[in-house]
Amino acid sequence: MTETAHIPGVAVVTGAAGGMGQEIVRKLHADGNRVGLADIAVDKAEELAKELSTDGSTARALRLDVSKREDFVRALKDITAEWATPTILVNNAAVTRAADLMTLLEEDFNQVLTTNVDSIFFGCQVFGAAMADQGYGRIINMASLAGQNGGTATGGHYAVSKGAILTTTKIFARELAGRGVTVNAISPGPHDLPIVHQTVPADKLDKVIEGIPVQRLGDPAFIAKTVSLLADEDAAFVTGACWDINGGLYVR
């Protein structure tokens, strides 16, 4: 029996230039995928892409403002022309901000909602349609514990946006399931990331950790492994799901 040669997948990760995005990019690339690093901070994305692939054959940067549908359309066109229609999309980009709920300004509310919700919706819509046309795809949306418990350290606008991501995941999972495309969400609690340390003052972070049943922050590398698992070909029976990784802060 002749063994079939491995054909690497084509993955696109939004918010790829830093934090959780970098961890996800590194893991998907290590898995053998060609990876498009999509970010509005294209210079930082380019640095990581060159680190992973000096000749750009397996990693390349894409400028993508996730609040704009046309940017998703352009990114899809570019990555398809360069490699092939993507088989994996990780909607990771988000704005994380703390804010006082009762004095939250309309402008700030709309900016967070537009970035965090529009990015998921249009990513699923634009890339999902292309994946459905080829009969295969894996979409993973990064939600948050804040969207499940109403948030604690982050602002109300952030919690609202992450709750909407869970609903958006279900909508597209149902729409695309019959065409070989799965759509799932991962809902992390507090993780050991720069954005967490920037958002939560050190004295308050200690109290946050004390309130986590497992008494520690999460490891971003494990989130990347979870993305990899949901992106696997064998994950065909998982769709419309939300995988909670929160140290026991939210159980159901």
- Active site amino acids: 158
CA distance 106 to 87: 37
From 232, 145, 221, 130, select the one nearest 179 (Cα to Cα): 130
Which DSSP helix (H) or strand (E) runs through 35? Answer: strand 34-39
CA distance 46 to 40: 11
Q: Hey, is 138 helix, strand or coil? A: strand
Rg for the chain (alpha carbons), in Å?
18
Give the orientation angle of helix 220-230 with respect to helix 19-30, to 10 degrees: 50
CB 183 within 8 A of CB 124: yes
Longest CA–CA span in the chain (Å) reads 68
**In degrees rounded to 5, what are phi and psi of residue 40?**
-75, -25
